[in-house]
Structure 1
């Protein structure tokens, strides 16, 4: 017996399979049409969880921030002052040296011989001068008795004057040669840090060769930091500097500690016309050697302090097309959008010039999910910096 379905039966089965889900689909549609859609107002009333902080009134420092470059307070290029063979280097590269420390020795033998020659010439002329003075004295005495002519007396006195001049020249020559001999030992003129040795022992060095220094030394204690600020701050800086010294700080990259403290010691005598900024210099004792020449550091110039300033966490402030704004939580726990005017930013804190009053609650996290009038579910802000969600 053949159980294979006929073609007509296959068509009926296929039609039944297609029509079977239709009642279920109609039932679902009828249920959707019967339930009202969720209103936008209901969604708006759903509280948005946010993290908040209270605006506080504090005494905050008046400060300017900039990026500065560390420089040595003194820098010396050591060159030879006499010509000769460089015999020995007495220092270690990259080590600290003090004023008067021996750095190099140049072969002194030639200059020692020249000094002996100069001293011998001085002794010879001194002996001749002594003899000429005695002879001039005898001629003068004999002239009074008529034994010596005036011409002989004048000649004797002229010999004395000539030999006195020769002795003076010999003394100068001997002093100059002695000085050249002293220059064969090269000593450090400052306290500082040595660089790399630029000429090795055994080489012939020339006197006062600026193109070939032997060594560079930089003084790091104290250290200088050069930085610039916009020229609009110049009158305020000058006014406050005239009243009291101004502190300059170098904060750590994380802003949690101060690496170095110094004082403002220099204001340039002109404004840079290209940048509209004025160059300043802070001086630091740098006793711990934290500051290194050529290093870029953040600079904070303390101008004074401002009392009763309104401060909030910096992360509460948002930037929009209309400028800076933030959300304030109203007593009804709704988000109110406020435009704010910022005086300045102090790391994790922002000083508000206008827009927020002390005691008001601002949103520091969760702003991106808020719209004006949104209901909020506030939670207190944790300690430490956080990022907007």
Structure 2
């Protein structure tokens, strides 16, 4: 009878060696496949930075008029300003306005107690009536004396006395008439009315107080709003340009801009030029007049003034933001049909309101770079992401 075979340590080692041989063969097969199999295409290298198109905003060169403006800082000044002061003494009975109200010329604004002035007027009129009666009697006597004098029935001295008496009463009547007129004037001052159209300010006194004719502060201040003016100054070096512009045009246009110089408030005309130069500052003062229909201009407001003195027609202009400066002078980057930037040196003229005239170097409708200039060089591809009008 035979005994069963038992697995010893030698058979376990053989199995491990067989497994290692299989793994080695698999690795060799994979290596052979990688070496002899089809090659994968080479990876595409990412483009370099200088090959990426630059995003830019452009604007087209346009043809049109270009004005030349004189710039100045101005102060809005009413054409008329009145402090409403009482002209007579008395109790302030009533105020007929509200603060900040727009009023019309002749509108009743305040009333002062008129009773003392009514009494004074009645007294003056009474004196005038008395004097008139005496004058009428003296005139009748004079006529009688003259008839008697022609008949030699009265002494010459009596006639002279009658004539003197009539002249005296006539003079007294003139005096009484003046007193009546003055009493009427004082009575009229008990009603304070607006001397012109305008807007009234804050009141300085309330009804019920006693006011006096010598009060300097007044009841309130009335300023004319429409129309209104702006006072400003320009250097004396610009006076010649201004005088030449005045010779060419009867009325020069003036624009008033806000303090930030971003929004136009109103447009008017130059009204007056001062007759002398301020020696201390070397400037000359001017006044511009504005309709101020929407009351955008307010008294004592600071505004930026643009006075148009020269206008050129049919001028090629571009935004001033497109112009760069280098060793060769002013230049721009022009974008061609191939969407590439080319550096172009220009000869520039005057500028105004964000645009500058091009005298040479650029044709109408050519595109110039406005934003993104700092990343450009000659021949660089661009991507247009915006175009200004």
Q: TM-score, normalised on structure 2?
A: 0.76
Asked whether the 8 Å contact 2:335–2:368 carries over to 1, the reply is no
1:82 is displaced (CA, Å) by 1.4
- Cα distance change on mapping 1:255 and 1:377 into 2, 3 Å: farther
- Cα distance change on mapping 1:66 and 1:53 into 2, 3 Å: same
> Which aligned pairs between 1:120-139 and structure 2 lie closer than 5 A?
120-139=126-145
State the partner residue of 2:6: none
d(CA) in 2 for partners of 1:143 and 1:318?
110
Asked whether the 8 Å contact 1:46–1:375 carries over to 2, the reply is no
> Runs of 4 or more off by more than 6 Å in structure 1?
252-257
Question: Mean alpha-carbon deviation: is it higher for 357-366 or for 214-223?
Answer: 357-366
1:73-94 deviations in Å (ceiling 9; x for gaps): 2111111111222111111111
State the partner residue of 1:92: 98
1:178 is displaced (CA, Å) by 1.2
State the partner residue of 1:302: 308
Q: Which has the larger radius of gyration?
A: 2
d(CA) in 2 for partners of 1:192 and 1:267?
25
d(CA) in 2 for partners of 1:346 and 1:308?
17
Matched residue SS, 2:304: strand
2:253 to 240, 244, 247: 247
d(CA) in 2 for partners of 1:202 and 1:324?
75
d(CA) in 2 for partners of 1:323 and 1:258?
37
Asked whether the 8 Å contact 1:70–1:224 carries over to 2, the reply is yes
2:219 to 201, 214, 222: 214
- Cα distance change on mapping 1:163 and 1:44 into 2, 3 Å: same
d(CA) in 2 for partners of 1:270 and 1:287?
32
State the partner residue of 1:107: 113
1:281-330 deviations in Å (ceiling 9; x for gaps): 2212122222211222233323353234232223223467x797444248
d(CA) in 2 for partners of 1:263 and 1:318?
35
Asked whether the 8 Å contact 2:79–2:224 carries over to 1, the reply is yes
1:384 is displaced (CA, Å) by 5.1
Aligned residues: 339
1:174 is displaced (CA, Å) by 0.9
Asked whether the 8 Å contact 2:346–2:358 carries over to 1, the reply is no
Q: Please, which runs of 5 or more residues in structure 1 have no aligned partner?
A: 1-41
Question: Is residue 2:124 matched to residue 1:118?
Answer: yes
State the partner residue of 2:165: 159
Q: TM-score, normalised on structure 1?
A: 0.76
Asked whether the 8 Å contact 2:277–2:284 carries over to 1, the reply is yes
Q: Please, which runs of 5 or more residues in structure 2 have no aligned partner?
A: 1-46
- Cα distance change on mapping 1:187 and 1:52 into 2, 3 Å: closer
d(CA) in 2 for partners of 1:375 and 1:43?
15
State the partner residue of 2:230: 225
Matched residue SS, 1:376: coil
1:141 is displaced (CA, Å) by 2.8
Asked whether the 8 Å contact 2:58–2:387 carries over to 1, the reply is no
State the partner residue of 2:343: 336
d(CA) in 2 for partners of 1:43 and 1:272?
64
Asked whether the 8 Å contact 2:60–2:388 carries over to 1, the reply is no
Question: Is residue 2:235 matched to residue 1:202?
Answer: no
d(CA) in 1 for partners of 2:149 and 2:171?
25
